[in-house]
Structure 1
């Protein structure tokens, strides 16, 4: 659960930076297209792969101009993956709220159905 919380916080922090940078992004053209994160599985895979690339570059000490360019390029994929993760976490929050309210109302079918959908999504994040 701790990993899930850390990922959720990371996604929300990244989203707040994206929102804060929105005026700049309107003035600057996109340079690269990030690797697609159409599904939660793709987003988690892209985060793992591109976090490892970023970690390796940062671990080598001083950064070269070439590495700075590579980092710039890989951040597009990280941003796409985090945006997808943010969307999925928001859906999961709604699902947990539905389960919560359903448990108060004794809505057995809603709790079972929505609870299972939530757990299916959560497993893709927590088990990574």
Structure 2
């Protein structure tokens, strides 16, 4: 998945993911966990492929709509983890920018390593 697609999805997720379910909502399915950014990106990609397969059908039956419902649980968990991890990335990039501008090699190397650990995780 391209980095821009993940950023767009993460930005959309920030507006769509409102937090834990309310008491009125029913938890029908168990989401596949996304404990790490790597897991979240893997689950996000895999479940988006599964979702695309269902949505590409000519007609969506009740069973297919239920499948979509089921897939969204894992997608929501994965997207929340991606959003959480990516939220700090702009500040880290800015620190890298400023340390390189100040010709601070030690800080640039350290901050750059942190930036790349997160940034390269979301790039295929």
Which TM-score bucket, shorter chain as reference? 0.7 to 0.9
Q: Any gaps of 5 or more consecutive residues in structure 1?
A: none
**2:36 matched to which residue of 1?**
39
Runs of 4+ residues deviating >4 angstroms: none
Alignment TM-score, normalising by the size of structure 1: 0.85
Alignment TM-score, normalising by the size of structure 2: 0.87
Q: Any gaps of 5 or more consecutive residues in structure 2?
A: none
Q: Which has the higher helix share?
A: 1
Q: How many residues align?
A: 123
- 1:16 paired to 2:15: yes
CA distance in 2, matches of 1:3, 1:45: 13
- 1:98 paired to 2:103: no
CA distance in 2, matches of 1:3, 1:53: 17
Q: Which residue among 61, 77, 80 is the counterpart of 1:80? A: 77
**2:46 matched to which residue of 1?**
49
